[in-house]
């Protein structure tokens, strides 16, 4: 059945035409908030998560908003899964207008000299390889829609260094490099590629980093004690980048950190 639009939402909050998006890492704090925000705006959403169970709550909240939503479980680091994910969205909804590459992993809090090789490889696979695969397999479908938008969740770690977080920082620098390269390749195709760079957001990822730091007795230092952001702060910016309101933005990297990187 067609997606019903909540009449209480303003014109700025509702997409006038039916749109379809894929969101990876959909079971997490930021990914879940993005799915719900898009559902509020009338989008159909494919939730990419490790398992159906993990994404069940987000799926329920999207459908409660009268949005069409489906879960497509699997491993974002696998090329076949990414191909199948895009194919599923197009077959189920007839098109693809947005892709949010949001799956991410923090890794360990260790000095470079002590960092486990296998953890480094895992972080790079989840954060970088998955973004590469998402771009590779979604861009043809986004171009076919006549104006698709790809958004990657990077981090302020993409534009600064952080002691004891070498794998995470390196991976987010790489994500930003992929976004900038792909954006140039999309000029003239109708598709756009941009990134959001959140500072610390109150999510399970930040909680895990703080817990690791506490156990080490070595707190994570910040240039200035700006407040943590909320997942909804990121979701609002992602929704903007997916919308026609950002049609002149390509290759952009929007920092969301309450000013911490300028301190």
Token output for 116: 């486990």
Catalytic residue, from 81, 115, 168, 228: name it: 168
Q: Are 178 and 128 in contact (CB under 8 A)?
A: yes
Residue 202, C-beta contacts closer than 8 angstroms, at least 6 positions apart:
29, 228, 229, 230, 231
Q: What is the CA radius of gyration of the chain?
A: 18
Alpha-carbon gap, residue 133 to 201, rounded angstroms: 25
Q: Are 33 and 47 in contact (CB under 8 A)?
A: no
Q: Is 115 among the catalytic positions?
A: no
Task: Count how many Cα atoms sit within 13 Å of the Cα of residue 46 in the half-sphere of its side chain.
Answer: 28
Alpha-carbon gap, residue 122 to 119, rounded angstroms: 5
Closest by CA position to 201, among listed 222, 228, 237: 228
Phi and psi (nearest 5°) for 200?
-60, 125
Q: Are 75 and 49 in contact (CB under 8 A)?
A: no
Alpha-carbon gap, residue 166 to 148, rounded angstroms: 33
Strand partners, 254: 196
Phi and psi (nearest 5°) for 45?
-130, 135
Q: Catalytic amino acids?
A: 168
């Amino acid at each position: 059945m067609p997606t019903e639009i909540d009449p209480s939402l303003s014109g700025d909050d509702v997409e006038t035409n039916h749109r379809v998006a894929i969101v990876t890492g959909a079971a997490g704090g930021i990914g879940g908030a993005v799915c719900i925000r898009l559902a509020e705006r009338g989008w159909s959403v494919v939730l990419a998560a490790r398992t159906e169970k993990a994404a069940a709550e987000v799926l329920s909240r999207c459908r409660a908003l009268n949005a069409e939503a489906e879960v497509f479980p699997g491993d974002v680091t696998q090329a076949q899964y990414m191909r199948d994910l895009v194919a599923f969205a197009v077959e189920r909804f007839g098109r693809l207008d947005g892709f949010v590459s949001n799956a991410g992993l923090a890794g360990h809090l260790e000095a470079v000299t002590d960092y486990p090789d296998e953890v480094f490889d895992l972080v790079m696979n989840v954060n970088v390889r998955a973004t590469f695969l998402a771009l590779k397999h979604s861009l043809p479908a986004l171009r076919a829609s006549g104006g698709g938008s790809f958004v990657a969740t990077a981090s302020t770690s993409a534009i600064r260094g952080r002691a004891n977080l070498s794998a995470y920082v390196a991976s987010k620098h790489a994500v930003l490099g992929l976004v900038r390269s792909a954006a140039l390749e999309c000029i003239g195709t109708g598709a756009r590629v941009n990134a959001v760079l959140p500072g610390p957001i109150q999510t399970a990822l930040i909680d895990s980093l703080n817990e690791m730091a506490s156990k080490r007795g070595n707190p994570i230092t910040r240039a200035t004690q700006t407040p943590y952001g909320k997942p909804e702060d990121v979701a609002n910016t992602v929704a903007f980048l997916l919308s026609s309101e950002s049609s002149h933005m390509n290759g952009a990297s929007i920092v969301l950190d309450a000013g911490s990187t300028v301190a």
